[in-house]
Amino acid sequence: MATLKAIRKRISSIRNTQQITKAMKMVSAAKLRRAQEAAVQARPYADKMVELLRNVAARVSQEAHPLLKARDEKKIHLLLFTSDRGLCGGYNANLIRAAEAFIRREGAGKEIHLVLIGRKGADYFRRRRAQIADRHLNVLATPAEELAAEIADKVIDRFVKSETDAVYILYSRFRSALSQVPTLEKLLPVAIAETEDPTQLTEYLYEPSVEALLASLLPKVAEVAILRALLEATASEHGARMTAMDSATSNASKMMETLTLQMNRARQASITRELMEIVGTAEALK
């Protein structure tokens, strides 16, 4: 059995750790509220952009704009969104596992290049010597709109120059603080859902032309999709960290209860042993 001094030292250490995890939980809870609002508010805008794009692009061919043109996918870029910091449970591990599954599934006879947003994913794949096309670190320190525009400009430029045949994004979609779902979406070429009945499409009057509108709209759709992924990933990270820190705080309380019980037993055993020594000494002196 551990000594009283060792048990007291462990309790003190766990109590200090519990204070840290409790503080981190409170910070993540405060940040989660703002991040969740931003992610939820971005969803209707992104969905409406896709709806507008579907109505516009359904009347033109793939040749109307380079971002609509589908090619044989020999070179693929995967945008992976992870966090810069840890202590968020299985958040990063789930995303990295999904990325590796994608690489195994699509990598046969193809070149897959990674665009890594977040330090955890960048460090993981750098150690494994993966083909990394670009890295973006300190994500939370950069305004989401600026980062999304920067990433979108680079991947669009690569696609237009035929440096890649397809671009996918992998991020964690926020459902709740307890549930974040790794989500894979195709970013480029912009996929247009076919409409069975063209008469059901909303009629628009275009000025100056459909082609000119697509030239302005399609890059914006890609940028909005990346911005939405960033906001969802940020909310998911804070939710996962809050949940992980809450669990750590509860586990610390349980450990302290167990150690306190051990300490009391050790102290009782020590007192009993001392009493027995006193009684034994007194009997010996008779």
- Strand, helix or coil for residue 65: coil
In 62-164, where do the E strands start and end? 75-81, 111-117, 132-136
Verify whether residue 88 is a known catalytic residue.
yes
Neighbours of 38 (CB within 10 A): 17
Give the whole-angstrom CA distance, residue 100 versus residue 125: 10
Specify whether the CB–CB gap between 230 and 144 falls below 8 A. Answer: yes
Catalytic one of 64, 68, 76, 88: 88
Packing angle between helix 4-57 and helix 210-285, nearest 10 degrees? 170
- Strand, helix or coil for residue 135: strand
Q: Largest Cα–Cα distance in the chain? A: 116
Specify whether the CB–CB gap between 189 and 159 falls below 8 A. Answer: yes
- Strand, helix or coil for residue 178: coil
Give the whole-angstrom CA distance, residue 286 versus residue 277: 15
In 61-165, where do the E strands start and end? 75-81, 111-117, 132-136
Q: What residues are labeled active site? A: 88
